[in-house]
Structure formats: C-alpha cells, structure tokens
C-alpha cells in the first residue's frame, strides 16, 4: 500500500488559537512533556468520567459500545465484543475506533484516534484519545412496553453517549495527543425484524467546539476484525485466534467483511463486517480525483513507526485508495487491520456539525451480508422510518413439571402501524420454540399460529380459543391469552417467543415482529413443594456429558429437584467435608452462578421455582472429582431436612 503525500491548500488570513507547537514538516520529535493547551482545553481536560460500556442485545448482533469512541471489548472477557449470532460465542471483533484528522490554521496535522494497533486487553480508555462527557450510556426504545420506552427513540434499542477529544492524556515515549477540538454525539440503532436483525447502525454527530477553523477534515472507522468461536477455548484470552483470516471488500456498497478460512472446526463459519452508510453533508470533491470513500488495510503491528504519529495516520486517511484484498489468507499468516475513511470536508468552522453513519453487521455468508447492507442503507436513507409490524406482546412463561405455560397480553392489537398512525392492521400471533442457544429465526419451530377471524386473511382461526375467561395479573400487567406446551424434558432449556404480525398490503407483505423482542429462556421442572418430598438429583449418576452440558468445564451442571420454596443445600464428600453450600430461593432464582445457563443474548429467564442447578464447582473454586457425594436440603420455613446422595463419574 502506498500512501500519497500531503497536498493541502491552507486557508490564509485566519485568526488561530495556538496549540503550543509550530508547524513542522514531517515527523515531530517525541516529547514527555504535555503540549501547551488553550485554556478551554485545559479546563475540559480536568473533567473526566468513568469508562462505560454496553452490549446491544435487541437483535442477533451483540456489539460492545462505549463512551470513549471505542467499540468491542478487546477480549478482556468472554462477553460479546461483536458476537454474531448473539449467544453463540462466535465473535468477530477485537477492537474498533473512530479516527478524525484535519489541518489547523497553523498548518499542523492533527489526528484523534479511538484506538490503534495494540495488544488485546490493552484497549478501551487506555488507547482512546477521546474523553467521555457523561457518566452513562443512555438507553431508549420505541417499543411501548419496554421500561426504556421514550417517544423520541429511533429504534428498538438506542444507545446514546457523548465524548470529545479535549482531554490531556500523557503518554510517555510517544507523540502526545493534541486536540482537534471536536465533540462527538454517538447513537446506535437496531431492529429485531427478521430482515433487519443482523446489524447495528452507529451514527456520529461531530461538532467543532473549538474557536478555530479546521480544514481538509477526514474521518474514518478503524477495525481489527477477527472471527472465531470462544467456546472452543478453555482458558481466556485464547491463543491462535488471529490468523487464517479472509477479507472481502465491496467498493460499490462500501463494506469490508471478514471470516476464517478454517472455520475453527466448523464452529465459526459466520462473517463480520463494517459498512459506511453516509455523511451529512457529503464530502467535498477531491482535487486529485481519488475516491472520497477509501479502504485500506495493513498487517497488525503494535509499536510500528509507520503509523505512530499524526502526520502518518493522516496520510493513510487521505490517500483515496481502495486496497486489494485478494492475497489475504492465501498463506494464513496475514493479520489485517481495516480502515474505511471518508473526506475531505474542506472547511470545518466553529459550531459546524458533520453526521457520519456506519453499520456493524453479521452474516451467515456474503449473500446474507449483502442483503443486510441494502436494508441498513435503506434504513439510513429513509431517516430510519422503516416498515414495521405491531410489537411483540408482553410475555409470561411459567415452567412446570415437563411443561411450559405461555401467557401473553392483548394490548398490541390496538397499536397503530409505525409508518401510519391511522392504520390499525394487527392480524394475529405466532408461538415459536427452540432448544438451540443463539438460534436464528429458521432454528425456531412454529408451534401455533392464530389470527383474526372474518376478514378473509390468513387461516382465520380466531383468537377466542386461547383467550382466558379471566386475565392473569402479574406486576400490574394483564395477560389475556394462554397456551400450554407439554411433553417437554425437565432440566432442559427452551427458548420461547410470541410474535405479532399484521395484514400487509399490496406493496408490502405481512410483517412480523422480532422474535428477540420478548424471547424468554425457560427450564421445565418441579415447582416449589408445599409439603417437601424427598429431594432428587438428576442426572444421577452424572457422567460428565449431560446433553445440556457446554464445551467447557464450567458449563456443566446437574439439577436438584423437588425443592421447597426456600432452602439451604449442602453438598458433602463421602468423608464428610463440606464441598459446596447453596442458598436457594425459588422466587428469585435465576441460575446466575451457572455459566452454562445464564442469559448470554439478552433474553428473559424463567425457572420453575423448585429446581436448582449446581455446576460441580466446589466452594474452593475447583471442579469436583469423581466419587459419591452426600447432600442435605433444609427447608427454610419448616426446618424439615431431606438427605440424599449422587454419583459423579468423570
């Protein structure tokens, strides 16, 4: 890749605010002393806030967003960085970050970066040159039944943050950050509808908050994508993750996609991608005829002297080139980092704002990515007014012995069409179930469909068969419909959703709400025993390979069943040593300490109230050995004690 030299025509006659360094061509010497700053920057630098991150969980893409202009979690934990499908532990991103570069009135080349090449678990606030201006990431939703509902929300899950580049961040031994004087208002948007459930849109409003004109502004999104399956690694962080990459860039659609050449034993075939959607205003024409939307890649190389100074990073952003990716992955040794950059914006005056919008995408294959790219582009260009069905109803799933009782409310039947407040086109409900974690829409089984009778649309089953004579009221919500799903297996996880669909019209077919809107993971099992019977354990003996077990040691578990509502469970070795103690409350139990059960994709959780899982990890945080174990269960209310034993065979 060849970077073009700078060719900047600076404005003349402008009054500037000195940033403490004279314009010097080429590289600047490193300095351990912070640069001299205008008073406005010095005041802002002292007002710093904590690092905050959130993971989008309203559709199938789990993207870690922060209030530092940094995306992904740098693999600090196994939590989603850019996980697709969410809950699958197939991740596609180490880190990503915004870049902004411009020339100030003194002719200085300045670049602010959200991240650069670095070793994993060293990113976030330590590498970003942005400083947050709020102690939170605010969440809003257009779904009227969500606790985060707000009439000004744009999507089903909006995340809002604000930050700027005014802060001082001393960095011994490297070029010191010199602010451009920009503030960024960041918003993320997503939808759970099937045609739009694989991307998250990131919108950035960039404002010049300094008192000087910036010229030849370029902006970019840096990404270190790397696909792989986290479930295949017992220890974290993993080794051998970063190679075997393939990149694909589509110049017309402005997206770069990445996946593995070897799929990690077939466990990570999905793709991750980043797409540029547009800017307002659009960039100015380039004087040299180069592309205003450039794509570059380079081999990851922390500490490289090729991109360690502002002038070098700026040259990369302005080169107007589209790099060839055809050779990546042929030898399996490349570790590419990607950059989509946009510009120039010739004049960026104080108070001016530029809106730049990108999308992070996941896909089953390239064709899926292409279709999602079209939907994301249409959503952006329509101002996020996209066709939509009625929302999914509020859902109550109550597990019992070998069954799930599914109840939902009816208020969605009177919700107007999102695109036309005078149109009420509700048609019916569909009940879906799957036993597959991180399931896509086709992995769900349609259990029952019911629709309004008498309008000549659909099956005309009517809704009365499922309407209860008297609504069930829980936490102030009236649940009007009921369906029982029986012949299930106790101890197994089931994911349940009830969606709504509309009538459709001549131009657009019937639309259905997203499965993720009320997705609930439920575990059938015994309910709390009013008169405690003998407590049981299953499977017994436990052979270390229960059907529900995950791939890693801490994703294996067994169940205690027939428990009283509140109980103290003690597990002993055959020699009488206390192995573990569990304080159980069936009213609040959520299996939070069991990594193989806990929610990983934003769904609700529902348990029977009379079962408790144990992950076979001792109170000294070690997996237990094969052998015979004894247990006692003390009823917190009656004092009655049950005793029993179970076998573990590794």
Please report, for residues 141, 420, 463, 483, 517, the alpha-carbon distance to residue 413 in angstroms, rounded to integers and kept in the order given: 19, 15, 11, 18, 16
Counting Cβ atoms within 10 Å, is residue 621 exposed (0-12), middle (13-18) or buried (19+)? exposed
Residues 350 and 410 in one domain: no
168 domain-assigned: yes
Query: What average pLDDT score do residues 389-398 get?
Result: 96
User: Cβ distance 433 to 448 under 8 Å?
Assistant: no
Please state whether 451 falls in left (phi above 0), alpha (psi between -120 and 50) or beta. Answer: beta
Residues 160 and 194 in one domain: yes
Query: What average pLDDT score do residues 452-461 get?
Result: 92
CA–CA distance, 37 with 537 (Å, rounded to integer) = 67
User: Cβ distance 461 to 451 under 8 Å?
Assistant: yes
Residues 312 and 222 in one domain: yes
CA 63 to chain centre: 3
From 476, 492, 523, give the residue that closes a domain. 523
> Any idea what the CATH number is for the domain that residue 559 is in?
2.60.40.4070
pLDDT tens-digit profile of 161-211?
999 999 876 665 567 889 999 999 999 999 999 999 999 999 999 999 999
- pLDDT for the residue 30: 27
Task: Say if residue 356's pLDDT is above 50.
Answer: yes
User: Cβ distance 614 to 580 under 8 Å?
Assistant: yes
31 domain-assigned: no
14 domain-assigned: no
Q: What is the pTM of this model?
A: 0.86
Residues 427 and 306 in one domain: no
- pLDDT for the residue 646: 97
Which range of residues forms the domain containing residue 224?
A: 48-381
> Any idea what the CATH number is for the domain that residue 82 is in?
2.70.98
Domain count, the chain: 3
Q: Which residues pair with 355 in a beta bridge?
A: 205, 280
User: Cβ distance 258 to 225 under 8 Å?
Assistant: yes
10 domain-assigned: no
> Any idea what the CATH number is for the domain that residue 446 is in?
2.60.40
**Band of the pLDDT at 531, cuts 50, 70, 90?**
low
Residues 305 and 166 in one domain: yes
Residues 424 and 332 in one domain: no
pLDDT tens-digit profile of 501-526?
999 877 778 999 999 999 999 999 99
From 381, 403, 418, give the residue that closes a domain. 381
CA–CA distance, 314 with 459 (Å, rounded to integer) = 61
H/E segment holding residue 500: strand 494-502
> Under 8 Å CB-to-CB from 301, ≥6 apart: which residues?
117
Residues 192 and 314 in one domain: yes
Sign of CA dihedral 47, 79, 249, 224: positive
Looking up tokens 């704002």, which residue turns up?
353
User: Cβ distance 646 to 541 under 8 Å?
Assistant: yes
CA nearest to 202, candidates 379, 97, 356:
356
From 342, 358, 381, give the residue that closes a domain. 381
> What is the length of the chain?
650
Query: What average pLDDT score do residues 594-608 get?
Result: 84
- pLDDT for the residue 12: 27
CA–CA distance, 272 with 226 (Å, rounded to integer) = 8
> Under 8 Å CB-to-CB from 281, ≥6 apart: which residues?
345, 354
- pLDDT for the residue 395: 97
User: Cβ distance 189 to 384 under 8 Å?
Assistant: yes
- pLDDT for the residue 25: 29
pLDDT tens-digit profile of 256-292?
999 988 776 668 899 999 999 999 999 999 988 888 9
42 domain-assigned: no
């Amino acid at each position: 890749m060849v970077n073009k030299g700078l060719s900047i025509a600076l404005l003349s006659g402008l009054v500037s605010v000195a940033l403490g360094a004279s314009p010097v061509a080429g590289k600047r010497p490193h300095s351990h002393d912070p640069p001299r700053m205008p008073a406005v920057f010095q005041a802002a630098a002292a007002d710093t806030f904590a690092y905050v991150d959130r993971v989008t969980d309203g559709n199938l893409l789990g993207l870690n967003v922060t209030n530092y202009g940094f995306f992904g979690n740098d693999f600090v934990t196994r939590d989603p960085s850019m996980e697709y499908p969410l809950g699958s532990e197939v991740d596609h991103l180490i880190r990503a970050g915004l870049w902004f570069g411009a020339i100030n009135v003194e002719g200085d080349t300045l670049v602010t970066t959200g991240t650069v090449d670095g070793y994993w678990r060293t990113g976030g606030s330590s590498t970003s040159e942005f400083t947050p201006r709020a102690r939170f990431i605010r969440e809003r939703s257009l779904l009227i039944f969500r606790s985060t509902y707000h009439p000004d929300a744009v999507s089903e899950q909006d995340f809002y943050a604000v930050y700027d580049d005014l802060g001082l961040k001393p960095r011994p031994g490297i070029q010191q950050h010199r602010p451009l004087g920009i503030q960024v208002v960041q918003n993320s948007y997503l939808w759970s509808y099937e045609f739009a459930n694989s991307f998250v849109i990131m919108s950035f409003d960039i404002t010049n908050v300094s008192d000087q004109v910036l010229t030849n502004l370029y902006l970019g999104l840096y990404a270190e994508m790397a696909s792989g399956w986290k479930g295949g690694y017992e220890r974290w962080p993993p080794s051998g993750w970063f190679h075997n990459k393939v990149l694909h860039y589509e110049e017309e659609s402005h997206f770069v996609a990445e996946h593995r050449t070897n799929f990690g034993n077939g466990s990570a075939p999905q793709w991750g991608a980043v797409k540029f959607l547009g800017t307002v205003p659009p960039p100015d024409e380039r004087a040299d005829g180069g592309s205003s939307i450039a794509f570059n890649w380079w081999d990851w190389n922390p500490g490289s002297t090729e991109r360690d100074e502002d002038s070098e990073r700026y040259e990369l952003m302005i080169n107007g080139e589209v790099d060839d990716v055809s050779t990546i992955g042929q030898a399996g040794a490349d570790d590419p980092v990607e950059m989509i950059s946009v510009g120039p914006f010739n004049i960026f005056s104080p108070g001016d704002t530029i809106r730049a919008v990108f999308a992070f995408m996941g896909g089953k294959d390239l064709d899926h990515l292409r279709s999602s790219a079209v939907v994301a582009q249409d959503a952006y260009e329509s101002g996020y007014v996209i066709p939509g069905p009625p929302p999914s109803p509020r859902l109550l799933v109550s597990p019992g012995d070998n069954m799930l009782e599914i109840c939902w409310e009816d208020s969605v039947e009177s919700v107007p069409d999102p695109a036309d407040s005078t149109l009420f086109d509700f048609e019916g409900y569909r009940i879906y179930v799957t036993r597959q974690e991180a399931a896509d829409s086709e992995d769900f089984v349609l259990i029952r469909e019911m629709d309004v009778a008498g309008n000549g649309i659909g099956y005309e089953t009517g809704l009365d068969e499922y309407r209860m004579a008297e609504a069930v009221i829980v936490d102030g919500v009236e649940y009007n419909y009921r369906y029982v799903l029986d012949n299930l297996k106790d101890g197994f996880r089931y994911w349940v959703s009830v969606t709504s669909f509309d009538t459709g019209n001549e131009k657009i077919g019937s639309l259905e709400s997203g499965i993720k809107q009320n997705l609930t993971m439920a575990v059938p099992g015994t309910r709390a025993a009013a008169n405690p019977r003998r407590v049981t354990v299953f499977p017994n003996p436990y052979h270390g390979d229960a059907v529900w077990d995950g791939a890693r040691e801490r994703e294996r578990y067994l169940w205690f069943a027939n428990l009283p509502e509140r109980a103290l469970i003690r597990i002993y070795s055959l020699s009488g040593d206390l192995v573990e103690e569990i304080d159980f409350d069936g009213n609040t139990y959520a299996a939070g300490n069991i990594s193989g059960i806990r929610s990983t994709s934003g769904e609700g959780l529902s348990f029977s109230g009379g079962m408790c899982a144990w992950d076979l990890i001792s109170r000294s945080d070690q997996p237990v050995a094969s052998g015979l174990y004894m247990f006692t269960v003390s009823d917190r209310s009656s004092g009655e004690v049950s005793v029993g034993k179970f076998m573990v065979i590794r």
